[in-house]
Structure 1
Amino acid sequence: MAVEHDPTKIWTTLLSNRAYLAGTLVLDHTLRKTGSRYQFKVMVPHDVAADLEFMRVLEAAHIPAILVDNLQPAPRDGKVNKGTWGKLAPWGLTEYERIVLLDSDQIILKNIDDLMTLPLPEGFVAASHACTCNPRKLAHFPKDWIPENCGFTATDKATGEPPVLTDDSPRTHHLLNSGVVVLRPSQKEYEALLDAMNTHPDVPSMTFVEQDLLAVVYRKKWKRLPYTYNALKPMRACHSDLWRDEDVKVLHYILNKPWQSRTYDAEDTVESTHKLWWDAYAEVEKEWIESPDEAKRGLWQSVVVPVVAQA
């Protein structure tokens, strides 16, 4: 029986290259598996849409595509801070009342349809904190990204309630993670975001591009979601006092991606989470390779398989 969708609200993700195609198919599968009553649509930049095989995969998966501009900030001193600026596009999709922006390196473990009806004041977004512990000690991360400054360190471990934000809070407490963002499209806000992208003095030095920009534009205007709606996989170790497997709704595979290797340490607190992705991928694979549609089976072999590790 076909699910009746509310056409005014959608899930979306930005898919700008083939590398994340398998991730997108798994994300779609887990949204459906957890019983979402809202439609998933994929934002595809115009230049990527020229890849006809790529587009046929989305069509075979029954995932509608939304063509979007390939957003980039204006050059500064002849240089452009390239990145996933296209994730700002949903603010301009004003034919929808609400959009939940997801990343395609995620799986949905529990139904999250409540995000579509979450009370959200006009001009606000909802998102989880960025985890600023930097457990891998990556040199290019900001110097104040240490466990003591992380918003999740200050989160109530019993209730999951985020810390109260004040002007005296650490800078890092005001940072959100853009892997899950609940928003109300608005032409006014979209234009303000693009203006900030092109003019804000910090844009050339932003490490996490659109995520850093959203934290600037929506400072004091974002409703903080519990980590369970955007559980960054390293948090299973660095915030083990907060993390509870049974509560996680969205598992976010930041840093190395599951599809890059079928080999992972099943005993490692963080890497063992890759099994959940591979289990979901196996369900998608079965659906495609057992399809009665010869063209669909062919697309799986020619487009999806090459971007997924075979060992």
Structure 2
Amino acid sequence: MAASEKKYAYTTLITRVSYLAGVIILAHTLKKQGSKYPLLVFYTPSLQDAGVKALELEARKLNLILKPCEMLEPRPDIKITLIAERFTDTWTKLRVFSVFDYDAVCYLDADMAIFKNMDSVFSRAADLPSDWIAANHACVCNTDKDDWAPSEWNIDNCAYTPLSHPDALSHPTQVNPDSRPTYHLLNSGMFLYHPSKQLWDAMLHFFDTTDKLSTYNFPDQDFLADFFRHRWVSLGWQYNALKTMRYIHPKMWRDDEVVCLHYIVDKPWVARVSADGIAGFKGKDGVTHGWWWNNYADWVAQRESEGAVEILKLMEQHSAKVDGSEEDDADMRAIGSRVQAFPSNKAGKENAAPAAANAEEAKDGGDEEEASSPFRKKVLGERGHGPVVHSQRGGETPP
């Protein structure tokens, strides 16, 4: 079968209506940039009726194939230590591996937008082994020197630091068994894979039997880093351009090379860009958030020209108000103004991340050495939902 006859698709997951604007603009930008392939949208019973209705209204226009699915949750005896309650849903991202009628699928997080034709990513599928994935590294620069980050998370240990334009586009840092531990960390916002029943069964077996789930603060990402250890290849940064790379890795970044922009940390649809061009939790994301709002305005103009009143009202209810005021919704605040508050949230300490618990112990005169161990602390934030760093010694090996 010729490569042109291969059956490809994109896919994403939505579990809460607070991400509705993200999914719609992701789909809109895929179509706008001329993608030939559908977007499979997995959604769970937790998605409110308004979200389902919006997806149904947009399905034909944006080449969506809707995939209702159940939540994926660990077995009852596993004690979960997530960094934030909202990450409970993201175990379900693994269900995207259960579509067996495609030769290759590219997963895209719901907080992404496309700025060049993305279909070129499928050119990597032919050389990708059937039980591997292609993905991007996590950025581990930790430029803010956050106390909760592992000690090895620094600029020198980031897989993006040695790269510069234009070689970074075609020659990303690759991983091998001898690579430093931080090079083994992937960002699960985008990954390319060959779905098969054999692979899905192996993933479910690992999910149902391993005790490692209790160590994962970022569920799907930590799982994928473990399961595909030594079985993933890295792609150019342009396919998963974390918005923070624009100022953390300027040697590598070029605005006009971005294919897929990943709006990590706070989401652009939660707040408008201020009149002075400031946006983002650190005020540095005005340009990239502005790109998202330009695409939103483009989508709105199209729907207004069609007289699509119902979908316009639904989107207005789940994106930032024109006057700049904050949406009075807990889920929206959790991905907006309070996105950086969750590490210090002390509610339900038994479910707090070990890093947070260790920090509290240190303040209270606990074991200082244990609190500072790079293999105890968990990571989050600007680096793009960084996964747990596991010791190279011993441990369970995924199938």
CA distance in 2, matches of 1:262, 1:281: 11
Task: Look up the match of 1:48.
Answer: 46
Out of 234, 252, 257, which is 1:247 matched to? 257
CA distance in 2, matches of 1:228, 1:10: 19
Task: Look up the match of 2:9.
Answer: 10
CA distance in 1, matches of 2:262, 2:144: 17
CA distance in 2, matches of 1:181, 1:9: 13
1:10-29 correspondence runs (5 A): 10-29=9-28
CA distance in 2, matches of 1:146, 1:212: 19
Structure (1 or 2) with the larger CA radius of gyration: 2
Could you tell me which amino acid in structure 1 is paired with residue 161 of structure 2?
A: T
TM value normalised by structure 2: 0.70
Q: CA deviation at 1:304?
A: 1.7
Task: Look up the match of 2:298.
Answer: 283
CA distance in 1, matches of 2:211, 2:8: 34
CA distance in 1, matches of 2:256, 2:11: 25
Contact 2:177 2:230 in 1 (8 A): no
Task: Look up the match of 2:360.
Answer: none
CA distance in 2, matches of 1:252, 1:276: 12
Report the CA distance shift for 1:205/1:213 in structure 2 as closer, same or farther (over 3 A): same
Out of 178, 183, 193, which is 2:188 matched to? 178
Q: CA deviation at 1:142?
A: 4.0
| Segment of structure 1 superposing worse, 33-42 or 269-278 | 269-278
Does residue 204 of the first structure (1) align with residue 204 of the second (2)? Answer: no
Say how many residue pairs are matched: 301
Task: Look up the match of 1:125.
Answer: 133
Report the CA distance shift for 1:138/1:104 in structure 2 as closer, same or farther (over 3 A): farther
CA distance in 2, matches of 1:108, 1:20: 16
Q: CA deviation at 1:173?
A: 0.3
RMSD over aligned CA atoms reads 2.2
1:224-239 correspondence runs (5 A): 224-239=234-249
Identity %: 33
Q: CA deviation at 1:60?
A: 1.2
1:1-311 correspondence runs (5 A): 8-45=7-44, 47-48=45-46, 51-62=48-59, 63-76=64-77, 79=80, 81=82, 82-118=88-124, 119=126, 120-155=128-163, 157-160=165-168, 161-264=171-274, 266=277, 269-292=284-307, 296-301=308-313, 303-310=314-321, 311=324
Contact 1:92 1:187 in 2 (8 A): yes
Q: CA deviation at 1:230?
A: 0.4
- Cα deviation per residue 1:143-164 (whole Å; 9 max; x = unaligned)? 4322221111133554112234
